[in-house]
């Protein structure tokens, strides 16, 4: 359908123009544009179109954040009393709320950064995994606070995202060292704390993140090092995986691979699930939460 193609184009353009923006934020901006251009006659039709648009975006970018962000957006805009007799008035109310939601979540990364950087003490050695913009913000804030610390980043194959992270940290004049994914156990005794980002935070309080995070969590538990996760609240998703197998395939593999490859057993998954028992604290724009409090927040967000 034409509108969907426009939507996907808009989404891709957003990511191209501003590579620093979270994919969920770009998705929500595109959905807002879609809402403004939508031509349906009824509110039910509007909601259906929005749901289809979200599915279309999920197919383009198979990250958990797009799925959760989209659902939260839809709930937020339709949570008001849409009792105006005129459809265009209702739409205006929805668009207003959509803009409000967008503004709130654009600020969330800053809030997380402000909360977390106080947990980094002077002289700390930090281990992080792959490339996360939220972790970068946290470390930026800590550096701006004149704290001295060293960062170890894992290489994070198969896309070597860790090297990009190291480059960005280098530009901030933070001493950084890239380690092999296999060297996490080796390096764990040297570090003081582990900070990782998240692609999605699930109902149990666990996180879904780049493959290798679970390993890092298990190692840090064995060495009794605190394992912190930083994430914005729009990444909270209504999934409840029991183990690695239970994570749906549409999140594990990239969208194009899902469409082309027949036997998924031959493919490497891009994400893994870290259970809440291995996580010390989660830093979100809703505050500093223990893993068991995540369900509390989710119930508040969704009920």
Using CB under 8 A, list all residues that contact other proteins: 203-205, 238, 240, 242-243, 245-246, 276-277, 292, 295-296, 299, 303
Q: Which is nearer to other proteins, 154 or 204 (CB)?
A: 204
Assess contact for 137 and 143: CB atoms under 8 A.
no
Q: Which is nearer to other proteins, 144 or 299 (CB)?
A: 299
DSSP assignment string, 196-246: E--SEE-TTS-EEEETTHHHHHHHHHHTT--EEEE--GGGB-S---SSGGG
Min dist CB 299 to other proteins, Å, is 6
Q: Which is nearer to other proteins, 206 or 212 (CB)?
A: 206
Q: Which is nearer to other proteins, 192 or 203 (CB)?
A: 203
E strand residue ranges, the chain: 124-128, 149-154, 176-179, 193-196, 200-201, 207-210, 227-230, 271-274, 281-284, 287-289
Q: Which is nearer to other proteins, 156 or 284 (CB)?
A: 284
Query: In this structure, is the dihedral angle defined by the CA atoms of residues 245, 279, 75 and 259, taken in order, positive or negative?
Result: negative
| C-alpha neighbours within 13 Å on the C-beta side of residue 295 | 9
Min dist CB 20 to other proteins, Å, is 34
Min dist CB 244 to other proteins, Å, is 11
Min dist CB 204 to other proteins, Å, is 5
Min dist CB 75 to other proteins, Å, is 15
Nearest to 69 by CA among 96, 95, 42, 50: 50
């Amino acid at each position: 359908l034409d509108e969907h193609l426009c939507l996907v184009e808009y989404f891709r353009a957003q990511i191209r123009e501003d590579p620093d923006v979270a994919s969920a934020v770009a998705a929500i901006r595109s959905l807002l544009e879609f809402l403004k251009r939508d031509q349906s006659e009824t509110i039910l039709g509007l909601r259906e179109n929005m749901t289809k648009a979200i599915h279309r975006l999920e197919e383009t970018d198979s990250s958990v954040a797009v799925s959760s962000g989209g659902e939260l957006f839809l709930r937020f805009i339709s949570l008001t009393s849409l009792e105006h007799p005129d459809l265009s008035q209702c739409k205006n109310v929805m668009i207003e709320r959509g803009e409000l939601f967008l503004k709130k979540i654009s600020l969330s990364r800053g809030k997380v950064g402000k909360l977390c950087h106080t947990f980094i003490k002077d002289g700390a050695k930090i281990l992080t995994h792959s490339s996360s913009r939220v972790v970068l913000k946290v470390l930026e804030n800590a550096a701006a606070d004149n704290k001295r610390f060293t960062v170890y980043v894992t290489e994070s194959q198969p896309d070597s995202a860790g090297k990009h992270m190291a480059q960005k940290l280098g530009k901030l004049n933070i001493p950084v060292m890239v380690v092999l994914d296999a060297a996490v156990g080796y390096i764990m005794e040297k570090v003081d704390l582990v900070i990782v980002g998240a692609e999605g935070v699930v109902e149990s309080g666990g996180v879904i993140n780049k493959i290798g995070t679970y390993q890092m969590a298990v190692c840090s538990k064995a060495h009794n090092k605190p394992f912190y996760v930083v994430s914005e609240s729009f990444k909270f998703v209504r999934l409840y995986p029991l183990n690695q197998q239970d994570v749906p395939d549409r999140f594990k593999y990239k969208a194009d691979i899902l469409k082309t490859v027949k036997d998924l057993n031959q493919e490497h998954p891009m994400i893994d699930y870290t259970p809440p028992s291995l996580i010390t604290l989660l830093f979100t724009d809703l505050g500093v939460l223990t893993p068991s409090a995540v369900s509390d927040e989710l119930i508040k967000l969704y009920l």
